[in-house]
Structure formats: structure tokens, C-alpha cells
Amino acid sequence: VYSIRDDAANNLKRLAEEFVPEWAIQHIIPKVIEMINNQMTILQAISLLTPVMGSEITCSKLLPIAINASKV
């Protein structure tokens, strides 16, 4: 199960690299939010997306998701 989730997180990163951050915000970030019940998967996805998305998007979009996931 872990390897499937790991592959999914890596695929999200690859998609974010191929498209502009605005596209990723609209299409990838909602998928990451849907994974909120699986803390490890969401944190893995965020750690992979952070270098691709840049600091502004990371702070405004990804950091709040990570904080929320840590509270679940």
C-alpha cells in the first residue's frame, strides 16, 4: 500500500512540474486535500510538491494543509 501511495505522490509532483503552478493549484491541491485522512501520504505529497510550487504557494496553500493534517 505504501508504494502505491508513494507512486501517487511522485506522480502529483511530475504533473506539477509539467504544468504551471496555477494549474497545480486548481487541479492538484484539491486532490492533496482529499487525502487529509492519511497524514503520511499528504505530508509525502507536500514534501514533493514544495520545491516545484515555490515559496509563495507553499506558504499560502501547502503549509496550511500540512498544519491541518498534523491535527487530524
pLDDT tens for residues 7-52? 888 998 899 999 988 898 898 888 888 877 788 888 888 999 999 9
Structure confidence at residue 72 as a pLDDT band (50, 70, 90)? low
Question: For the chain, what is the domain count?
Answer: 1
Domain enclosing residue 8, as ranges: 2-71
**Of 44, 72, 71, 3, the residue nearest 62 (C-alpha):** 44
Q: Which amino acid is at 26?
A: Q
Q: Record the pTM.
A: 0.67
pLDDT of residue 59: 95
